[in-house]
Amino acid sequence: MNALLAIVRRDLLIALRRKSEVLTALFFFIIVVSLFPLGIGPDAKLLKKIAPGVIWVAALLSTMLSLNRLFATDHADGTLEQMTLSPTPLGLLVTGKIVAHWLTSGLPLVLLAPVLGIQFDLDLSALGVLAGALLLGTPLLSLIGAIGAALTLGVRGGGVLVSLLVLPLYVPALIFGAGAVEAHVSGLDPQGHLSLLAALLALAAFFAPWATTAALRVALE
């Protein structure tokens, strides 16, 4: 457990020293989301309708941008080898890396989305549902993304490949995440969507570290 916390702490420290990588993905999210109201014009009704989809798609793409650095630098400098050989189970260390990835690329999206949602004329309660859905959905994106990042490790052109591999797997998160906000906006209960999102998260939290570990061992052979 200590080793897991050590990994989280180390990755956060590295992210802090290499701010540009984290900030690039966040600014990408802010800009993509802000382009839509500018492009579509002040049609409040239309904006409100597309808001959940636009914000969620931007969140998926922004997560994709940060996936490459999840294992690539550790692979290049030999840290991943040492993690494999450490007395601590690799699955635990991988979980730590995924947690750190979510803290640097998922959690900021959860905090930013309600602010950006104002541009789409979403009311306060809809913004709350949006943040809640992202809070359940972004860890799911980090977990699934880790499998893709591990599978494409050391592959030439891995950046594009990881998008092709992971984006289709993000579809359920997108449907239920955006669906929750849409349901709320049209006066329905978002509970069902959120419960399904939470179920997906529980499933991924159990299987993704295991699958990622297996993929990393293959990449290191």
Q: Which residues bind another protein (CB under 8 A)?
A: 2-3, 6-7, 10, 13-14, 17-18, 76-79, 81-89, 93, 220-221
The residue among 89 and 154 lying less far from another protein, judged by its C-beta, is 89
Nearer to another protein, 201 or 216 (CB): 216
Q: Cβ 206 to another protein, closest distance in Å?
A: 21
- In this structure, which amino acid lies at residue 109? L
Of 105 and 163, nearer to another protein (C-beta) is: 105
CB of 34 or CB of 79, closer to another protein: 79
In the structure encoding, which two tokens stand for residue 37, read together?
């109201």
Name the minimum Å distance from CB 112 to another protein.
25
Element (H, E) at 93: helix 90-101
Question: What is the nearest approach in angstroms of another protein to the Cβ of residue 130?
Answer: 34
Give the shortest CB-209-to-another protein separation in angstroms. Answer: 16
| Residue appearing with tokens 């906006």 | 185
Rounded least distance, CB 71 to another protein, Å: 14
Q: Shortest CA distance to 94 belongs to which of 205, 171, 189, 221? A: 205
Q: Which CB, 101 or 193, lies closer to another protein?
A: 101
CA distance 34 to 54: 10
Torsion angle defined by CA atoms of residues 200, 206, 207 and 209, in that order, rounded to the nearest 10 degrees = 120
Residue 30 or 72: the one with the smaller Cβ distance to another protein is 72
**Rounded distance, CA 145 to CA 167, Å?**
9
Least separation in angstroms between residue 16's CB and another protein is 9
DSSP secondary structure, 143-204, as one string: HHHHHHHHHTTT-TTHHHHHHHHHGGGGHHHHHHHHHHHHHHHTTS-THHHHHHHHHHHHHH
Residues 6+ apart with CB under 8 A from 58: 28, 29, 32, 33
